[in-house]
């Protein structure tokens, strides 16, 4: 009888222990989400602050069990970040996510043809915590630019168009360091060798590519236009690139570059100063950069938009031929009353 009582007591204890284990498992691991939602924790936050954010998201089924799990997991601080609470997540997974800062990266996309630092700052700030003013201050930080191997004029050329993954909490200066790594990765091996063969540094290639970007949207023309400018550089001729004048006077909306615009004393005025301008006039795409690196070999020294106004260009070896093309183009503009 006594032995039977012991067996019963042991069975009760085993059942109680199993029930406790099951209860803890149920609380910590079982799905406690209603829907997927993104939550943002701006600064290091207390558990109670985190619970308020989680409750406001409307994605947690049972806040009480989330609180209980946070005590078991000894959550003292919820780390700043952008987190996704996904369907099927249990309390332990949610708590550990914010405890250890396991963020979901955001996509940061830079397209080509970004002309100003202000525009670049606005694009970079879209999906991350730093605002555009903070990023603009970084872009205007000459000391930071110099520490990374650039200067005030060339710093914008460090940003190679692509889609990148970063954490929402990245700082402005860390953005610069990240893009410096991407720049170094882009300019390695074959591209560096190609730049040497045409007698330019990577930053000079980017500067020339920025001019080509503004000259044409036709991919097949990139290497040809690059070849024209390289031929002119080799002969010591001014580039006479209209886009650089538009940049110099601060007006890319100009339909025609007139004599008064050519009077600008800016170092970006390639009618007045020979060689490449101090830095890029826009951010060129990788496709245009590669078009410059694979420049076409020819004897052209001039090009002009065709009178068909279809976006393509007529190329010339002589000034006389160029002037004929230019006259036809000007006549086409006059017919359309484009001033």
Predicted local distance difference test score (pLDDT) of residue 15: 42
pLDDT tens readout for residues 218-246: 999 999 999 999 999 999 999 999 999 99
| End-to-end alpha carbon distance in the chain | 111
For 20, 46, 80, 153, the CA distances from 75, given in Å and listed in that order, are 22, 9, 14, 48
Per-residue pLDDT band at 18 (split at 50, 70, 90): very low
55-63 long-range contacts, Cβ below 8 Å, gap at least 24?
57/85, 58/34, 59/33, 59/34, 59/35, 59/85, 60/32, 60/33, 60/34, 60/85, 60/94, 61/31, 61/32, 61/33, 61/34, 62/32
**Residue 159, φ and ψ in degrees, nearest 5:** -90, 100
Report the distance separating Cα 219 and Cα 175, nearest Å: 30
- Least confident residue range of 145-149, 154-158, 196-200, 263-267: 263-267
pLDDT for 257 equals: 84
Nearest to 66 by CA among 18, 99, 101: 99
Cross-strand pairs, 164: 108
| 90 phi, psi to nearest 5 deg | -95, 170
How many whole angstroms separate alpha carbon 25 and alpha carbon 30? 7
Q: Round to whole Å and give the CA distance between 248 and 135.
A: 24
Q: Give the pTM.
A: 0.86
pLDDT digits (tens, 9 = 90+) for 316-328: 999 999 999 999 9
- Name the packing angle between helices 132-139 and 172-186 (round to 10°): 60
pLDDT band at 17 (very low <50, low <70, confident <90, very high): very low
């Amino acid at each position: 009888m006594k032995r039977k009582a012991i067996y019963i007591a042991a069975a009760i204890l085993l059942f109680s222990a199993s029930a406790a284990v099951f209860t803890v498992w149920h609380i910590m691991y079982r799905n406690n989400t209603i829907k997927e939602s993104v939550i943002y924790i701006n600064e290091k936050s207390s558990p109670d602050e985190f619970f308020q954010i989680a409750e406001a998201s409307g994605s947690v089924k049972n806040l009480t069990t989330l609180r209980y799990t946070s005590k078991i997991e000894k959550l003292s601080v919820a780390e700043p970040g952008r987190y996704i609470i996904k369907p099927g997540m249990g309390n332990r997974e949610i708590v550990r996510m914010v405890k250890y800062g396991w963020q979901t990266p955001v996509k940061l996309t830079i397209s080509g043809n970004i002309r100003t630092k202000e525009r670049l700052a606005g694009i970079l700030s879209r999906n991350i915590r730093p605002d555009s003013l903070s990023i603009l201050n970084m872009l205007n930080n000459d000391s930071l630019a110099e520490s990374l191997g650039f200067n005030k004029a060339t710093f914008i050329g460090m940003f190679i168009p692509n889609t990148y993954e970063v954490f929402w909490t990245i700082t402005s200066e860390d953005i610069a360091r990240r893009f410096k790594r991407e720049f170094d990765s882009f300019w390695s091996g074959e591209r560096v060798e190609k730049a040497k063969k045409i007698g330019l540094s990577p930053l000079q290639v980017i500067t020339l590519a920025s001019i080509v970007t503004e000259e044409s949207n036709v991919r097949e023309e990139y290497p040809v236009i690059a070849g024209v400018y390289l031929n002119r550089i080799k002969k010591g001729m001014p580039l006479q690139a209209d886009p650089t004048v538009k940049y110099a006077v601060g007006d890319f909306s100009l339909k025609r570059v007139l004599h008064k615009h050519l009077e600008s004393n800016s170092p970006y005025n390639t009618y007045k100063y020979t060689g490449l301008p101090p830095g890029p006039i826009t951010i060129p795409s990788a496709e245009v950069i590669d078009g410059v690196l694979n420049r076409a070999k020819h004897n052209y020294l001039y090009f002009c938009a065709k009178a068909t106004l279809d976006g393509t260009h007529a190329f010339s070896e002589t000034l006389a031929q160029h002037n004929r093309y230019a006259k036809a183009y000007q006549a086409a503009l006059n017919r359309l009353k484009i001033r």
